[in-house]
Amino acid sequence: MFELTNKTAVITGAASGIGKAVALVFAKQGAIVHLLDMNEHALTETANEIREQGNDPRQHLVDVSSQPAIKSLFDDIGRIDILVNCAGISNIGRADNTSEEDFDRVYTVNVKGNYNCLHGAIPMMMQNKRGVIINLASVASNVGLTDRFAYSMSKGAVLGMTLSVAKDYITHGIRCNCISPARVHTPFVDNFLAKNYPGREQEMFEKLSKTQPIGRMARPVEIAHLVLYLCSDEASFITGCDYPIDGGFIKLNTP
C-alpha cells in the first residue's frame, strides 16, 4: 500500500522540517523526488539522507517566489505527478504592528510561492490527465491565533487556493487537498525559542507543547505520513478537503 514507485514528486521547503520528512518518506515509497529549497547546505543533507536509503534524489536551489525560476525548473523536470507545497515562513505580530515589509515577505513566500508552483505544475498535470497536489495550510486557516496576523492571512489564502484548484481541475484528473497542522517540532521552533527566550527554551517548549490537547507537538514524520496517504492511489476519491492534524487543537480547544 501507498507505493509511489516511478512517480515524480516535487517537494518545496525540502531542506528541513515537514518538507524534509515528506521527502524522506516519499523516497522510501519509491518516488522520484525533486527537492526544492533555498538552503543549499541543509538541502544537500536531506539529499544525502535519501541516498543512504538507496534512492537518488534531485536537488534544486530555487526561490519559489520567482515565477521565471519555477517555470524554468519545472520545464526541465518535464513531468510532475505530485506537488507538495511545504515552503513557508512565519511572522509574529498583530495587524497594527506588522510592518508592510514583513507582510509582503510572508505573502511573497507563502501565497505567491504556492501560486507559482501551482501555475507551473498544473498544465503538466492536465497534459497527463492526472496529478496530486498537497498544500501546507495551518490551524491558523481555521481559528484565530494570537500575534500571527500575516501568517494567518497567508494560510487562509492557501486554504482558499486549495478549494479553487480542486474544483477547477477535478475533470482533468487532478486532486488537490491541504493539511492544517498545529505546532510541529521543527528546527524553526528551536530557533524561535533560542532567539526569543534565551535560557528559557525548555520551559517555553513545554508551554507551547501543552497548547495541543494531546500534550505535545507533532513530529514532522507524522505530518509526512498523512501527506503520503493523500498522495497515494489509496486516496483517489479524496479532493477539495482540508485535513487538520493538530492533536485536538481546533475541536478540543473550542468551548
Q: What are phi and psi of 179, to 5 degrees?
A: -120, 150
Confidence at residue 254, expressed as pLDDT on a 0 to 100 scale = 58
Joined grid coordinates for residue 191:
530557533
Q: What are the DSSP calls for 51-105, one per residue?
A: HHTT---EEEE--TT-HHHHHHHHHHH---SEEEE-------B-TTT--HHHHHH
Residue whose grid cell is 475541536: 251
d(Cα 42, Cα 157) in Å, to the nearest integer? 28
User: Structural domain boundaries of the chain?
Assistant: 8-184+220-252
Q: Could you give the residue numbers annotated as active site? A: 151
| Residue 1 DSSP one-character state | -
Residues 171, 167: Cα–Cα separation, whole Å: 8
| Region of residue 199 (left: phi > 0; alpha: psi -120 to 50; beta: else) | left
Are 143 and 190 in contact by the 8 Å Cβ rule? The answer is: no
Position 255 scores a pLDDT of 58
What is the pLDDT, as a whole number, of residue 113? 98
- Give the number of C-alpha atoms closer than 13 A to the C-alpha of residue 100, restricted to the C-beta side: 0
pLDDT tens string, the chain, 255 residues long: the values are: 999 999 999 999 999 999 999 999 999 999 999 999 999 999 999 999 999 999 999 999 999 999 999 999 999 999 999 999 999 999 999 999 999 999 999 999 999 999 999 999 999 999 999 999 999 999 999 998 999 999 999 999 999 999 999 999 999 999 999 999 999 999 888 988 898 889 999 999 999 999 899 999 999 999 999 999 999 999 999 999 999 999 999 999 755
8 Å CB contact between 88 and 109: yes
pLDDT at residue number 187: 87
pTM attached to this predicted model: 0.95
Q: Tell me the C-alpha distance between 220 and 223, whole Å.
A: 5
User: Which CATH architecture best describes the domain 8-184+220-252?
Assistant: 3-Layer(aba) Sandwich (3.40)
AA letter at 51 = R
Pairing of strands 131-136, 174-181: parallel
Start-to-end C-alpha separation, the chain: 39
Residue 192 has what pLDDT? 82
Q: What is d(CA 146, CA 224) in angstroms, rounded to the nearest whole number?
A: 26
